[in-house]
A and B are shown apart, each in its own frame.
Chain A
Amino acid sequence: MEIPYTVSTRPDTGLWNAKIGIWLFLASEVMLFGGLFSAYIFLRIDAAPGMWPHGLLNVPVGAGNTAILIISSVTVVLAWASLKMRRYRAYWWYMLVTISCGVIFLTVKLAYEWPQKFEHFGVYIKPGALGKYEKYLGNERRAEKGMEPRIEITGHLHSQTAKEYEVALDPVNADPDNPAMDRPHFLPLAVTDKIATIEKADVERATMFLPTHSAYFASYFTITGLHGLHVLGGVLVFIYMWLPVSKKLYQRNPEHLANRVEVSGLFWHFVDLIWIFVFPLFYLL
């Protein structure tokens, strides 16, 4: 028995079934990401001064990934339009570009961005010991300018003993009084060879840039991780629609394949739409 209304429209809704299905699914997705974004707002508004890091992510890489997702959104809609015009060869190529974009996005995220964070180290200094590390924090000048205090020293963990951490400093802590360090740089600056020795007795918390580092990284990894899972899901569906099995469907009923591509494309555009908000919220602001 054939599944009804895969191509023809239902008289009562005026739509084919999968179209309603995907929009109901996207409605549930809005609630899922809405919950996470509202948690983000809550955590950010309530963050104590200096507790919401700024400028720790690689902006050119994030912007590049945004461009990749936008390009893939264009190619998936072109793939659908090609099917509508019965140009299977063009569809095949557009779909291949879309899949490649998804794979590049995930590779950049999982093989470059996240591992880079896992290697980075941050030390939160106890409020009473902040003055001792003034040469790495530059808080006197910041206070004069009415800026939030720095309470964390970041860089690469060089070595540690039972009593001390030795940290190869990020430029922001190596040269904290330089006004150029007040705002994040577009091109990330490499860790310096200046080493700071921090006594463990002065440390409130020390960790790599993991979800346990701060509410910022907890939200970053949760939201980008969930978003990445959506990208992976979309790529797997697109691969199925790109394989020869879908060509058989095209030969049997091209409009059915076009509709399948339309609903999976709607999902893909939604994934792009989420990233449009994720990118400025985490990378730029």
Chain B
Amino acid sequence: MNNPPDISQDPKEYEEYAHGVQKHVRGYLMVGALLLTFTAITVALSYVDFGTRKANIGIAMLVATLKAGAVAAVFMHLAAEKRLIYRILIFTGFFVLGLFWLTLLAWYDYPIFR
């Protein structure tokens, strides 16, 4: 049932294949370095006063979202994935946003706390 390995036994073709994967490896290392840099930036920004706590939270979440996007796009290969995976994720996004919306509704349900 299983396919044979998708790598050629021919030394020349193998060399080309390995070279192609090696290019990706350089990309992974660069993204890793970028993520470490952005972690340092996140820490540094948290000690900068942007006026309000909300502004600080917003900026930190923006940096975190960029980092998460890089992990998802490059390490998890979402930048070039099959359509079915995107469909699963669209459904997930829809439901998780619904979950956050329910939280918002709950917040407006109990004015006695404010």
Chain A residues within 8 Å of B, Cβ to Cβ: 2-8, 13-15, 19-20, 23-24, 27, 30-31, 34-35, 38-39, 41-42, 45-46, 59, 63, 66-67, 70-71, 73-74, 77-78, 81, 84-86, 183, 186, 253-256, 265-266, 269-270, 272-273, 276-277, 279-281, 284-285
Contact = CB atoms under 8 A, between A and B. Distances in A.
B3 to A, nearest CB: 4
A254 B2 CA distance: 11
B107 A46 contact: yes
Nearest to B35: A70
A3 B1 CA distance: 8
Contacts of A19: 85
Interface string B96-114: 1001101100110010011
A266 B73 CA distance: 11
B43 A63 contact: yes
Contacts of B80: none
Contacts of A63: 39-40, 43
A67 B2 CA distance: 38
Most chain B beta-carbon contacts within 10 A, residue among A5, A23, A270: A23
B42 A255 contact: no
Nearest to A84: B21
B12 interface: no
Contacts of A78: 25, 28-29
30 contacts: A3-B1, A7-B5, A8-B1, A8-B2, A13-B84, A14-B82, A15-B84, A23-B85, A30-B92, A31-B95, A39-B103, A41-B103, A45-B107, A46-B113, A46-B114, A66-B39, A70-B36, A73-B75, A81-B28, A183-B49, A253-B2, A254-B5, A255-B7, A272-B75, A276-B64, A277-B64, A279-B39, A280-B64, A284-B42, A285-B57
B61 interface: yes
A280 B113 contact: no
Contact of A71 (B1, B32, B113): B32
B39 A85 contact: no
B60 A285 contact: yes
Contact of B7 (A27, A70, A84, A256): A84
Contacts of A74: 28-29, 31-32, 75
B68 interface: yes
Contacts of A15: 82, 84-85
Contact of A273 (B29, B71, B82): B71
Interface in B51-72: 53, 56-57, 60-61, 63-64, 67-68, 71-72
Contacts of A186: 43, 47
A42 B106 contact: yes
Given A15-B85, A46-B113, A276-B68, A7 B3 contact: yes
Contacts of B64: 276-277, 279-280
A186 B46 CA distance: 10
Contacts of B39: 63, 66-67, 70, 279
Given A6-B2, A70-B32, 14 more contacts: A8-B1, A23-B88, A35-B99, A41-B103, A45-B107, A81-B24, A85-B21, A255-B4, A266-B76, A269-B72, A273-B72, A276-B68, A280-B61, A285-B56
A24 B87 CA distance: 11
Counting chain A CB atoms within 10 Å of each CB, the highest count among B68, B89, B113 belongs to B68
